[in-house]
Chains A and B, each alone.
Chain A
């Protein structure tokens, strides 16, 4: 069955001028499509390209040329329909955990009782219902990341954008969060764009992987063959290892 196209990028060009007035080209003629309820990862060498792409789709950064369409409409500014989880810790330290999770709903003027219920539900989903009345400073890095995820999911965006969300966490926490994300995503399938450096992570979570090269063009699009739901067996399985080897070759 032909899935609907959620995000379409055509001929995207992004150029910016640095402080010394040097011309920096980020993308030239980037084209791709992402389908509804698809989990897509962007991997590739370090450089600001992938983050910039995500920011453009989020509406946080302008682009120079080309078309970026979501549901057929051009993206002009940020909005609650595209939720984003950043690599940095951006939850609001001055709000308690529960107030953080309610933030998006509060902005949309949803009344207090309903907000509360929704927020509690998502806190439970990430396993933090006990910490509802704590301040972020009392939580660990991994827990704060889970709050961010709960915040974004509670807002029920159409599309999910994640920019190396687990990048700064230790291995065990990372694996933990990957599995939680996978579980939540199973329940509430959203079109997801996920930027990462971690091949394992990309293979574990995605349906397709876009491999970027150092010129910030898409070198390869890989279909991930594992069936869902994916659990521990997939992560530790032989197939994943094989796929990783294949992927790794692209980086040579």
Chain B
């Protein structure tokens, strides 16, 4: 059995490897133009100042620093995933209740599922305009579809032995659904949500590429024609930070407490 205690090397290695990456990056950047590969030092400098004062923003988009844009993206993301995930779970549970409903909705769902959710974006843009609503809509749509399917699959894979046991203990259908199905699907649901949370950051940024308004994606797009690669890197750093923090918060605050009963 692996020794779970973190040895010194375990903590050292990630630090060393990330430092190594920066080092290699820095070395390569010396040979390439800042348009191809800006120096990591510049990127980090710009990253830190990006929330205070970042002149390039006002040249290419609105505002004088990143803040408005960071807030915009974050807002769209959180509203989008919340709506999508919650409604997805609700609809999934609703469908899971009756085999009839499930059969009826499953085929359209399977059909929608094969299409990459991104394909919905042009439709949203056409129907609602390139506004922030379309961007939010895409995130919600993606989360909804993925989570509904995830919930349905989770319900299907609940061990029948639990149903049987509950029934012989006197539980009726509604009680079984509430006290057996819902707790049993939590681990699988948590797994699905984690994935969806990570991917949705990509979706919101891409939707911003194609749309209007504020947002990190808008900044990236506006930097391209001016070949302001440093700015693009800064934006990417922000997104990675957001995604990592979201993942961390989700795992610590929601996932762990809910799955504390799971055997490893």
Contacts and interface: CB of A to CB of B under 8 A. Distances in A.
B179 A103 contact: yes
A207 B166 CA distance: 29
B162 A90 contact: yes
A137 B261 contact: yes
A60 B260 CA distance: 31
B18 interface: no
Contact of B261 (A80, A84, A136): A136
Interface in A23-59: 58-59
A107 B24 CA distance: 63
Contact of B170 (A93, A94, A155): A155
B167 A137 contact: no
A80 B165 contact: no
B263 interface: yes
A86 B164 contact: yes
Given A88-B161, A92-B180, A94-B186, A151 B169 contact: yes
A135 B162 contact: no
B165 A94 contact: no
Contacts of B263: 93, 137
Contacts of A82: 168
B179 to A, nearest CB: 7
A79 B170 contact: yes
A137 B262 contact: yes
Interface string A87-111: 0101111110000000110111000
A139 B183 CA distance: 20
A107 B169 contact: yes
B154 to A, nearest CB: 13
B202 to A, nearest CB: 33
A83 interface: yes
Contacts of B165: 84, 86, 90-92
A58 B260 CA distance: 33
A136 B260 CA distance: 11
A155 B169 contact: yes
Nearest to B184: A94
Interface string B231-261: 0000000000000000000000000000011
B187 to A, nearest CB: 9
Q: Which of B168, B171, B172, B263 has the most CB of A within 10 A?
A: B168
Contacts of B172: 107
B58 interface: no
Contacts of A91: 165
A107 B175 CA distance: 7
A135 B164 contact: no
Given A60-B164, A103-B179, A94 B169 contact: no
A78 interface: yes
B161 A90 contact: yes
Contacts of A68: none
Contact of A90 (B164, B175, B261): B164
B93 to A, nearest CB: 16
Interface in A132-174: 135-137, 151-152, 155, 161
Contact of A94 (B159, B161, B166, B261): B261
A92 B165 CA distance: 9
Given A60-B168, A104-B170, 7 more contacts: A58-B164, A78-B168, A79-B167, A84-B168, A92-B165, A136-B261, A155-B170
The 5 A-B pairs at the shortest CB distance, nearest first, are namely A80-B170, A104-B169, A78-B167, A94-B183, A90-B165
Interface of B: 159, 161-162, 164-172, 175, 179-180, 183-184, 186, 260-263
Interface of A: 58-60, 77-80, 82-84, 86, 88, 90-95, 103-104, 106-108, 135-137, 151-152, 155, 161
